[in-house]
Amino acid sequence: MARLHEEYKTTISPALKERLGCGAMAIPKLKKIVISMGMGDANQEKAKFETASKQLALIAGQRPIIMRAKKSVSNFKLREGMNVGLKVTLHGPRMFEFLDRLVSIAIPRVKDFRGLNPSGFDGRGNYNMGLVEQSVFPEIDPATITFTQGMNLAFETSSATDEGAKELLTMLGMPFRES
């Protein structure tokens, strides 16, 4: 079992139950983490798309799926069915392993980091954040990076409110800045 998952079951879950004053079934849980990379110029540079796919697979621990355009947009030179991005959805132990690496290794390596923006909650208990480059993850060798690629991280929780989700993510180690 992942270290963070074990900690959630033994310490975080009872503390959340006491803090939020909810029953055992209403304790907020982390459902999934979605990591996505938008690759606007993926059709012009196939090698860049393949490299980003390999790097995302290293970061997430599973192969990403290719996101394709649903509609044609002539202003962006985009046709329906063209590759526009990559996405990985993490559940269970792999999700907790990724979150542990993100909180303990990757986020502290971000330059000029002053805490995560607390306004990234959507009103339904989910949190979104972005990373500017993939080099903050230890799986990526900085010597092999030919381009920087940002990514979006979406954390879906079972909490119906932002307060419950923020409390859960804070106890899991997410370093939010004071709002």
**Cα distance between residue 77 and residue 134, in whole Å:** 26
Structure confidence at residue 65 (pLDDT): 96
According to the model, what pLDDT value does residue 15 have? 93
Predicted confidence at residue 43, as pLDDT, reads 65
Sheet holding 65-68, edge to edge: 65-68, 83-90, 30-38, 151-157, 126-131
Rounded to two decimals, the pTM is 0.89
Q: In order of start, what are the domains of the chain with their CATH numbers?
A: 3-171 (3.30.1440.10)
Q: Residue 46 has what pLDDT?
A: 84
pLDDT mean by block of 10 residues, the chain; 179 residues: 88 91 88 91 78 91 92 83 91 94 90 88 92 87 83 94 92 87
DSSP 131-147: ES-GGGSTTS-GGG--S
d(CA 121, CA 128): 6
